[in-house]
Amino acid sequence: MITGAGKGLGRAISLALAAEGVNLALVSRTSQDLISLLAEANNLNSEIRASYQIADISDYSAVSASISAFIREFGQIDILINNAGIAKMGNFMELPVKEWEIIIQTNLLGSYYCIHEVLPAMLARKNGDIVNVSSTAGLKGFSNTSAYSASKFGLVGLSESLMMEVRSSGIRVFTANPSTIATSLAMELKLTDGNPEKVLQPEDFAEMILAHLKLPRRALVKNVSLWSTNP
CATH of residue 88 = 3.40.50.720
The reply to whether 228 falls in a domain is: no
Distance CA 226, CA 6 (A): 22
* Mean pLDDT computed over 88-97: 93
> What is the span of the domain harbouring residue 197?
2-223
Q: Give the SS3 label for residue 186.
A: helix
113 is catalytic: no
User: Does residue 159 form part of some domain?
Assistant: yes
Question: Using one digit for the tens of pLDDT, what is the confidence trace for 116-133?
Answer: 999 999 999 999 999 999
How many structural domains does the chain have? Answer: 1
**pTM (2 d.p.):** 0.94
Among the ranges given (60-74, 92-106, 176-190, 202-216), the one the predictor scored with the smallest mean pLDDT = 176-190
**Catalytic position from the list 52, 112, 113, 148:** 148
Domain assignment present for residue 187? The answer is: yes
CA–CA dist 132, 147 (Å, integer) = 18
Residue 177 lies inside a defined structural domain of this protein = yes
pLDDT in tens, 129-181: 999 999 999 999 999 999 999 999 999 999 999 999 999 999 999 999 998 88
